[in-house]
Amino acid sequence: MAINTDVEDWAGVGSNDSGERAWLLQSPSVDSVQHLDTNQRSGGVSCIGAVFIVVNAALGAGLLNFPAAFNMAGGVTAGVMLQMFMLIFIISGLVTLGYCSQVSNESTYQEVVRATCGKVTGVLCEVAIAIYTFGTCIAFFIVIGDQSKFHISVINSDSTVSEYWYTDRKFTIVVTAVLVILPLSIPKEIGFQKYASALSVMGTWYVTIVVIIKYIWPDKEVMPGFISPSSASWTAVFNAMPTICFGFQCHVSCVPVFNSMSRKGIKPWGVVVTLSMIICLFVYTGTGVCGYLTFGSSVSQDVLMSYPPNDIAVAIARAFIVICVVTSYPILHFCGRAVVEGLWLRFQGEQVEVCVRREQRRRILQTLVWFVVTLVLALFTPDIGRVISLIGGLAACFIFVFPGLCLMQAKLSETDSRSASWHGLVVFSVVMVTIGAFIFGLTTTNSIYQDITS
C-alpha cells in the first residue's frame, strides 16, 4: 500500500503528536499502511491482502543471517526447533496486539502501549522503537558494504579484485550513503518510496530460491565446513534468538494493518497472522537450512558473502538486496525520526502546530545527525551479525514484553467476573513478559560481552 504522503492521510490516527503519526515498521522490508477511519473506510483491506502486507513487513535483510544463526544454534535440528517454539509466542503476540488495539481503540503500536500500560511504558516503547530503527539503519549500511564486491566481480573475475581502492568496503558504503541514501532521507514526505516494499519481498524470495538451488546443485569450488549433528550445549541455542526475533519482528507495523482490515475481528486476524508467519517460516527455514548445509561452520554472517564473487545468480541476489536496503533506509529513518521528534516535542512541552516554522531546520539537523552517526558506526562494525545480536534482543521486547504487558493490563482492568480463561490469559501474559525479558537480557548481555572480548 502507498506511503502516506499528505497531511490528510494522517487523519484518524488519534493523536496530534508527531511521534505518533508514522507507521513504524520492521526493516528492511518496510511498508506504510494507510489508516482509514471507520466512517471513511471503503471496504478496507481483505484478509488475503493483510497476509501479504504482514509477510512484507516481516521479510527483510535479516534473512541473510539465518544460516549463521543455525550454525550458532548448533545445527539444523536446534535451529528449526527454536523457530517452532518461538513461533507460538510470535503469533500469540500479534493476536494480543490486535485484541489490545480493539480494546483501547488505538491504531498504532506505541499508542496501544501508551493507552494500555500508561505514559511511562509508552515513552519506553517509543525509545525502544527509536533505538531499534537506529540499529537497523546501521545494519543497512553494513549490508551495502558486504555486497560491494558484486559490482566489480561482474567485470573482473581475477582474484585481486579486492585490492582496488574503489572496491574497499568503507569507500563503497560512504559513496552509496552520501550520493543515494542521504538525498532520499531528507524530504519531509516519503511517498516516492511506495514501491520499495514490493521490491523488498521480491528480493528476499529470490535470495531464498538461489540459496536452495545452490544447495541442490552446489558449485564445485564450494567446500562446506563442519556440519554439527546436534547442539553442543543447550545454552548455544540461545545464540540464534536475536536473529529469529529480528527476522520475525513485524509487530510494530501490524497494529495499523489490523485496523485497516475490512473484517476487523480477532478470529480473522488470527488466521491472517498464522498464515503470514507460516509463509515467513518456510522462507527463513529454507534459507537457514540450505545455507547452513551448503557451507557448514564456514558460513559467513551474510550468507551471500560465502558464495564465489563471480556467480551471476548470486550477483543478482546481491543487487536485489542492495536496492532493497537503499530504498528501505529512508523509510525506516523516517519512522525513527518521527518518534524522536515526538519525544523531543513532548519533552519541551510544545505543540506540533507551534513548531511548524522550525520543522525544516529540525528535520535537516536530525537527519544529518542520524545519518552521520549510523554511517560512522557501520564503517567500524565488521559484520551484520554484531548489530543483529544487539537489536535482536530489543526485537524480543516488541514480540514478548510489550504485548504481554498490554494483555496483562487489559485483563486486569476488566471488572467482570474473572473466569478460568481470564486467569489463563493473565498467566500467559506473565509468561510472555518473563520470556521476553529473559531473551532481551541474555542476548544483549552476551552480545556486549562478545564485543568486548573480541
Please write the tens of the pLDDT for every residue from 77-108.
Answer: 888 999 999 999 999 999 999 999 998 888 88
Asked whether residue 353 carries a pLDDT value surpassing 60, the answer given is: no
In a 13 Å sphere around the CA of 48, the CA atoms on its Cβ side amount to: 0
Range ranked top by mean pLDDT from 225-234, 332-341, 359-368, 401-410: 401-410
Number of domains in the chain: 1
Outline where 154-265 has alpha helix (H): 169-176, 182-185, 196-216, 241-248, 251-259
Q: How high is the mean pLDDT of the chain? A: 80
Outline where 301-419 has alpha helix (H): 312-348, 359-379, 384-396, 402-412
429 located within any domain: no
Cα–Cα distance measured from residue 112 to residue 100, given in angstroms and rounded to the nearest whole number: 7
Q: Which of the residue ranges 121-130, 221-230, 359-368 would you say has the lowest mean pLDDT?
A: 221-230
**Residues 65-75: tens digit of each pLDDT:** 999 999 888 88
**Residues 24-42: tens digit of each pLDDT:** 333 333 333 444 344 344 4
CA-angle at 329, arms to 386 and 378, nearest 5°:
35
Q: What is the model's pLDDT at position 350?
A: 64
The single residue listed with the C-alpha cell 545519518 is 371
37 located within any domain: yes
Residues 200/58, Cβ–Cβ less than 8 Å: no
21 located within any domain: yes
75 located within any domain: yes
Mind spelling out the 3-state secondary structure of 270-312?
Answer: HHHHHHHHHHHHHHHHHHHHHHHHHHHHHCCCCHHHHCCCCCH
244 located within any domain: yes
Cα–Cα distance measured from residue 300 to residue 304, given in angstroms and rounded to the nearest whole number: 8
Q: Which of the residue ranges 120-129, 147-156, 423-432 would you say has the lowest mean pLDDT?
A: 147-156
- Whole-Å CA distances, 247 to 62, 83, 305, 389, 420: 5, 11, 19, 12, 34
Please give the single-letter amino acid code of residue 2: A
Residue 185 belongs to what domain range? 7-387
Cα–Cα distance measured from residue 404 to residue 407, given in angstroms and rounded to the nearest whole number: 5
CATH of the domain at 64: 1.20.1740
Q: What is the model's pLDDT at position 284?
A: 94
424 located within any domain: no
The single residue listed with the C-alpha cell 503470514 is 276
**Residues 171-209: tens digit of each pLDDT:** 888 998 999 899 988 887 665 555 556 677 788 889 999
401 located within any domain: no
Q: How confident is the model over 361-367, as a mean pLDDT?
A: 87
**Which residue, among 37, 48, 34, 30, has the nearest Cα to 14 in the 3D structure?**
37
451 located within any domain: no
